Amino acid sequence: MEQIKAKSIVLGITGGIAAYKTAELARLLIKQGLTVQVAMTEAATHFITPLTMQALTGKSVLTSQWGEAGNGMDHINLSRAADAILIAPASADFIAKLAHGLADDLLSTLCLARNCPLLIAPAMNRQMWESAATQRNIKQLEADGVIILGPDSGVQACGEEGLGRMLEAAQLAQAVVTYFQPKILSGVQVLLTAGPTYEAIDAVRGITNRSSGKMGYAIAQAALELGAQVTLVSGPTTLQPPQGAKLVRVTSALEMFDAVKARVTGVDIFIGVAAVADYRAAAPREQKIKKSADNLTLELVPNPDILAYVAALPHPPFCVGFAAESENLRAYAAQKRTAKRLPLLAANLAQEAINADDNELILFDDAGEHLLPRADKLTQARALLNHIVKLKGIKQ
């Protein structure tokens, strides 16, 4: 992430209710190590105050082309110092200005005078977004090389529902980080599994586990940052999938197995992160089993071993396994890697990792053990991907 820490971004805010999200966006960008300079339109100041953004970024917020510097050249100076400009929210009016090269305030002039990439996050009423004029303007900006982030679909401030919501702050921050990462996995196909599986016992009960899916989703994000094409086969989670990943939702281990078999051909890297149930009910009941005073015996049958299946293919992808153990971590992890003939296995203690936002990992490969000290799961995911890149001999 050193390349991120050296980057500077101009965060442009235009008038719209979604401007309230920019406070969190600025905080997340700074947390990633970016230097953030805020520039606002006059309309934006009616939704969030410059003082708020100044307090978060530690920098004076620019709102006028005739700023305190006195030379009237902020539109030139800012664009030369920035590595990128992000407009969030980008209103329909401001998008029209960009498409037609209008420059009647600091922010629009800055965008026209830039020599750095421009990213915009549209935010508006669904009918404004769907209008022929806005769609023409978006197509023109795409043709001009502007990167469009979103919009999302959902309930809007006006009470209507549909496309037009600005992406959430976390999604936009991830998109910016992804943009700046070197695309060393460009063209590489990554297939991974994440989350728990759920094996039905009857109409309302089932066998599952406490996996949150956070590690798998973080790995998907890290792979996208490096330019990979990512397919994420996910069991039931409440997580928001990373922007750009092809998401395949499944419930049971058999569904996950079928999804992987259908997509593994041509894959370069397979990462089995999901906590797949080892067993399922032999005969799930269609109706709820009624409680009685008698003991209840369930017959369980083993589920297919998805990782072992992929690793045993005639021409397997580079396979990475995960082992979550409650004891004897090193012994069990090494045994699992050998039994499944995996080039790389990541192991952690289940009681320390499940539902946690951070983790400690030990990587096992032919060279031995490699400790990844406790850190947040996205940091661990990036370190894991870097290790995979080294093992595969991909030039960085």
274 closest CA partner among 229, 326, 220: 220
Report the alpha-carbon angle 11-36-152, nearest 5: 40
Strand ranges across the sheet with 35-40: 35-40, 8-13, 84-90, 118-122, 147-148
- Residue 345: CB atoms within 10 A of its CB come to 23
Task: Return the SS3 of 123.
Answer: coil
Q: Write the CB contacts of 215 (distance below 8 Å, at least 6 apart in sequence).
A: 194, 273, 322, 353, 359, 377, 380, 381
Helix axes of 169-180 and 22-31: crossing angle, nearest 10 degrees: 40
Contacts of 386 (CB under 8 A, 6+ apart): none
Q: Which of 111, 116, 158, 319 is catalytic?
A: 158
How far is 193 from 335, CA to CA, in rounded Å?
21
- Contact between residue 282 and residue 300 where contact means Cβ atoms under 8 Å apart: yes
d(CA 323, CA 334): 9
Tokens (6 digits) for 54: 């100044």
User: Which residues lie closer than 8 Å to 53 by C-beta, 6 or more apart?
Assistant: 11, 13, 22, 23, 26, 38, 40, 61
Cα–Cα separations (whole angstroms), residue 219 to 345, 365, 377: 14, 18, 8
Which of 87, 244, 227, 240 is CA-nearest to residue 168?
240
d(CA 69, CA 67): 5
158 labelled catalytic: yes
Q: Based on DSSP, count helices (H) and strands (E) in the chain, helices before strands.
A: 15, 19
Neighbours of 124 (CB within 10 A): 27
What amino acid positions are annotated as catalytic residues?
A: 158
